[in-house]
Chains A and B, each alone.
Chain A
Amino acid sequence: MTLSRTAAPKAPGPFRALLPGLMLVAPALLAIGFLYVLPLVRSVVFAFVDAEGGFTTAHLRVAAELYGRDVLFTIFVALSSLALIAVLSIAIAGYLTLGATPWAVAALRWLYRWPLFIPFIVAGQTARSFLARNGLFNSLLIDSGLMDPAMAQSLLDWRGLVLTFAWKQVPFVTLLLAGAMASVDRSTIEAARNMGAGRLRCLIQILLPQVRGTLLVGLILSLVTIMSVLSVPMMLIAGNPTMMTAMMAHRVTYYGDYPVANALGLFSYILTALAAFAYLRMTMAQRRESER
């Protein structure tokens, strides 16, 4: 009697041991599975399934044939936007961190975030009235005598897209970058200045290398945003070529052609996945380095 009472309880099976843990993660796991993974897999699968349910690459071929130029145009616009975003946000965050005029830094800090709170569709509308042939931008140039009225041209093409994406995403990347720069050990900057480096050199050679991970994260998140925005290309660009999102919407709205839209979607997955892969590789390398 006493023996059986003091004997250790039977060890639970491996599944019983896992059960409480599984129960805890189940809601999150189910939400990700049903709301994210399943639609993604479905859309990838449907890009390869024909009307009879068999495997086909016809949708991909149609998508590449009809919209190949749009895919290239999208890549070009996205990369140009990212380059502009990177340059502007490094400049703004750098000035916020290294600026020597307190009132200018305070004013910039207050101003630069505004576009964060403006939705893309409003940004598109604003850009339309600003960048059109007789828009505010050209009027300003003409009124100030910097441009001949006959030279005025509409910027509502790839340039308009790049400017609008940059205008909308620069505050976001700057926010991340300025935060990272603020947490860099200030004495590393002072040491560089003490050794003879001017402000610009400090920014490029000392500050930026220490926050390049954050810059990359900001740019990758911006890339994903640019690849997914529909309103801006719809509002800014009338003709061909245009961004892939506009073409997917066109395919679905006017033809009800989900397979080709899915095939186009596959291209954007691949593009963003490449960026994500580059990002993961870099963070892994950084982790290995810090562990060394």
Chain B
Amino acid sequence: MGVEALALQGLSIRLGGANILEDLSLDVQAGSFTCLLGPSGCGKTTLLRAIAGFAPPSSGDIRIGARSIAALPPEKRETAMVFQSYALWPHMTVAGNLTYPLKLRGIARAEREARAERILELLDLPGFGPRRVTSLSGGQRQRVALGRALIVDPPILLLDEPLSNLDAAIRRNLRGELRRLQQKLGITTIMVTHDQEEALSMADTIVLMRAGRIVQVAPPEELYSRPADLEAGRFLGVDNLLAGRPEDPVAAATIGFRSGDARLAGAPGTGALNRRGRVLDCAYAGGGYHLQIAAGDEVIAAVSGLPVALQTEVCVTVPAAALMGFGTDHRLLPRETRPDSGATARPSPELLSH
């Protein structure tokens, strides 16, 4: 089966009177890796289940290539899904799990076994065929689940938090492995995750969701540096949100930046955001110190290479490039700079590349 694009058009899902998904439209390019990212309860898993056919839409359409699949039962959709709990069939061996989808498609035994062996090679599990799935480790189970989905050569691969039940080290390994495999096979992939690091490191495109709606669709770099609104920024680790001042290099009601971009300096930097304050807290966080600094009635989080004594007067400075300006409606403002403090804002060509 060839690589195909997926399109959602005005998709809504209602469950027990509540709107789980509201009027979603999304185009997923053929062969791309798309992450559905959002806090728990935002509807990202429901969206994935709707594509697989387990959550009937109340309105809207789902298309794979040119075909509409919204009215088909799950078994007719040919979307291959990998479940969070692996969902391997415990009464079958590894080979049994891998070949069952082929058996359903009426493929001859010899061919089934050959394909199972090939997929075990691909997943770095050679010789695992006769083992019982209950004897495998979490990472091995996840790979078998992935193999079971890939063995039918599906047009769309759906991954429901596939790495969330694994240890951190195995997770990092599998992350890279999964990404390489996806690029090698060129299969259109949609992955649900609540882990922004996972989404940023794996996806071509991230779909940020909140309360049943799509907030932003963007490549990882853009999503990270230009979150669509305050809440999206907070979810993506923008932990400092300060009220804008006239002398700041960005004219905005609220200015956001990450603590990693905030440095202590001897004197205020030019063309940067500067705040004076008193150190409230200094905690070691491996490789550096996390500071809490009281500046007026705001508290700023910053990092420092060296420990700082409590109650020290410091100057925090953040380069203009790391700042995000949000308007009174909490939406991100187009990037604009003020070359000298006090001057009126003047829009400048937007640069997303840095």
Contact = CB atoms under 8 A, between A and B. Distances in A.
Interface of A: 185, 187-188, 190-198, 201, 205-206, 209-210, 289-290, 292
B54 A190 contact: yes
Interface string B135-153: 1000000000100100010
A97 to B, nearest CB: 15
Contact of B89 (A188, A198, A201, A290): A188
A191 B89 CA distance: 9
A164 to B, nearest CB: 34
B51 to A, nearest CB: 11
B75 A209 contact: no
Contact of B148 (A195, A197, A201, A292): A195
A195 B54 CA distance: 13
Contacts of B91: 209-210
Contacts of B77: 194
User: A193, A209, A210 — which one has the most chain B CB atoms within 10 A of its CB?
Assistant: A193
User: A185, A195, A198, A205 — which one has the most chain B CB atoms within 10 A of its CB?
Assistant: A195
A197 B53 CA distance: 13
Ordered nearest first, which 4 A-B pairs have the shortest CB separation?
A187-B87, A191-B87, A195-B101, A209-B91
Interface of B: 52-54, 73-81, 83-85, 87-91, 100-101, 104-105, 132, 134-135, 145, 148, 152
Label chain A's interface by main secondary structure: helix
Contacts of B152: 195-196
Given A190-B54, A191-B87, A193-B54, 11 more contacts: A187-B83, A188-B89, A191-B88, A193-B53, A193-B73, A194-B80, A195-B80, A196-B76, A196-B105, A197-B100, A292-B135
Given A194-B52, A194-B74, A197-B75, A206 B89 contact: yes
B79 A210 contact: no
A206 B79 CA distance: 19
Contacts of B88: 188, 191
B81 to A, nearest CB: 5
Nearest to B97: A191
Given A195-B80, A195-B148, A196-B78, A188 B105 contact: no
A195 B100 contact: yes
A290 B148 contact: no
A193 B74 contact: yes
Contacts of B76: 196
A210 B52 CA distance: 24
Contacts of B104: 195-197, 201
A209 B134 CA distance: 15
Nearest to B74: A193
A194 B81 contact: yes
Nearest to A292: B135
12 contacts: A185-B85, A188-B87, A190-B54, A194-B52, A195-B75, A195-B80, A195-B100, A195-B101, A196-B78, A198-B73, A210-B91, A290-B134
A196 B83 contact: no
B155 to A, nearest CB: 13
Nearest to B104: A196
Given A187-B83, A197-B104, A201-B104, A192 B89 contact: yes
